[in-house]
Chains A and B, each alone.
Chain A
Amino acid sequence: MPENKFVLLFNTIHDVLRMEKILKQRGISHEVIPVPRALSSDCGMSIMLYTDVDSFIGYLGSIEVVAIYEFDGQEYVPFTIGKLN
């Protein structure tokens, strides 16, 4: 089964880096990448998570995530937090 990835979009680079700090502390595999143009015309950065949802969702805390997409290597599929429940 191919491992899915998640792209997290934020309002500001400040929130991206707050998230990065948490992910680093928790040892969660991730990468800060430019916002994929397929998702937004924003010229900022986003976070690609190389993990399943359960391992990061609890850490979002006060950081506002604008959108989450699931990426199978070809397509970005909108992912809603509600899907967790």
Chain B
Amino acid sequence: MIYLDNAATSFPKPAETIDRLNDFVKNVGGNPGRSGHTLSLEAARIIFEAREKLTSLLGMKHSERLIFTQNGTESLNMALLGFLEAGNHVVTTSIEHNSVMRPLEFLRRSRGITYTAVPCCSEGFVDLDGLKRALTHNTKAVVINHGSNVTGAVQPLAEIRNIVGRTCLIVDACQTIGSTAIDLEAAGADIVCFSCHKSLFAIQGVGALYVRDGIELTPLKFGGTGSRSESIEQPVFLPDRYECGTPNTPGIASLLGGLSFIEKEGIARISRKKQALRARLVDGLRQTPGVRIYGHRSKSPESYLAIVSFNIDGMLSSDVGYELNRRSLFVRIGLHCSPVAHQTIGTLPAGALRASPGYFTREADIDTFVEAVREIAGK
């Protein structure tokens, strides 16, 4: 079995993830910070430690501004629905995921916001001049997919920050967090949204967002926080303002394991290893007759993640995916929840295959995969 769908969910997980998860479910189990007993306190300490570690991984300082959610989609919904009001204009790009496009479209219809999707080149890099031109006097936010889940293109955040000036910069870092060495503090992101089950090695069901000091969001959810319980009003202090109801503590415990693993290995090493796998995959597919790769062409390696979309001429991606699956080679097929991105690279509505190696992928796995693609393409 060769798993090349790490851009959806990383698999397998490091031992640290599984150990922490196991330990929580077996030995801790309490409801965090609410009940006043030792197990409740222990659960709260796990969340606290994960929050502190994650904040520092982002290069940010105030851990109370790191909010846990269920996934990257919930984080983006919190940011967009909590920040945008009637009459606001938003600038985004034509490489976004539906977790940005659908909330924006909902807000357009329900609150009367407007948005401009700045074109990207066929590799998925945003046109920076176009971005500059799209900004208007009432642009409230710029929303950028930092690393494309379709082409692996990594946008130049620092340059984008310069262009957008003081406008709020909301970054979808689902694919880049834990994968590349990024200092989001230095890059000047105002709100960073991401999931934790990809390159942060948590189990599914954990996401987060970091909201920079000075930015206020209207909460999406209201309810019990274990604090100010005598009041029927949602607390104003963080993180309680944006976190209510019982959190996914087992998931956050697994995240703590994932973060320890990342700390041990080092982001630089993780990034180098994935770059090498990406290069091997791109080279192999490029030398395979009939294979068309989307992107990974014009820029230096660090401008791409280990996410490679491709098609075989004359074949449907679903048929190729079926053949690969029969050989126990697991990739993702279709539109990857990103119709605008596929429009940008010219694969709408047919879609593409997407191979995304992870930290535990071996070079031999890439070779086996490329050989299978060659065989299928040669049929």
Contact = CB atoms under 8 A, between A and B. Distances in A.
Contacts of A23: none
B63 interface: yes
A21 B239 CA distance: 17
Given A17-B48, A34-B36, A44-B34, A11 B41 contact: no
Contacts of A35: 36
A42 B41 contact: no
Contact of A45 (B36, B64, B228): B36
B228 A13 contact: no
B239 to A, nearest CB: 6
Interface string A1-42: 000000000011111111001000000000011110000111
Contacts of B229: 41-44
Contacts of A34: 36
Given A43-B34, A43-B36, A45-B44, A14 B63 contact: yes
A17 B36 contact: no
A21 B44 CA distance: 13
Given A17-B44, A17-B48, A45-B44, A12 B36 contact: no
B36 A11 contact: no
B228 to A, nearest CB: 6
Interface in A36-57: 40-45
Interface in B223-261: 225-230, 235, 237-240
B230 A12 contact: no
A57 B229 CA distance: 27
Nearest to B36: A34
Contacts of B225: 12
A45 B41 CA distance: 8
Interface residues of A, number: 20
B41 A32 contact: yes
B213 to A, nearest CB: 12
Given A12-B239, A13-B32, A14-B63, A44 B48 contact: no
Contact of B237 (A12, A21, A32, A33): A12
Contacts, number: 61
Chief secondary structure at chain B's binding surface: loop
Nearest to A62: B62
Question: Which of A11, A21, A34, A42 lies at the interface centre, i.e. has the most chain B CB atoms within 10 A of its CB?
Answer: A11
Given A14-B51, A14-B239, A44 B227 contact: yes
Contacts of B235: 11-12
Interface string B18-60: 0000000000000011111000010011001001000000000
A14 B48 contact: yes
Contact of B226 (A13, A17, A18, A40): A13
Given A13-B32, A17-B45, A40-B230, 7 more contacts: A11-B240, A12-B64, A13-B227, A17-B44, A41-B230, A43-B229, A44-B227
30 contacts: A11-B227, A11-B228, A11-B235, A11-B237, A12-B225, A12-B227, A12-B235, A12-B238, A12-B239, A13-B48, A13-B226, A14-B48, A14-B238, A16-B33, A17-B48, A18-B48, A18-B63, A33-B36, A34-B36, A35-B36, A40-B230, A41-B229, A44-B33, A44-B34, A44-B227, A44-B229, A45-B33, A45-B36, A45-B41, A64-B237
Shortest Cβ-Cβ A-B pairs, 6 listed: A34-B36, A13-B33, A17-B48, A41-B230, A11-B237, A43-B229
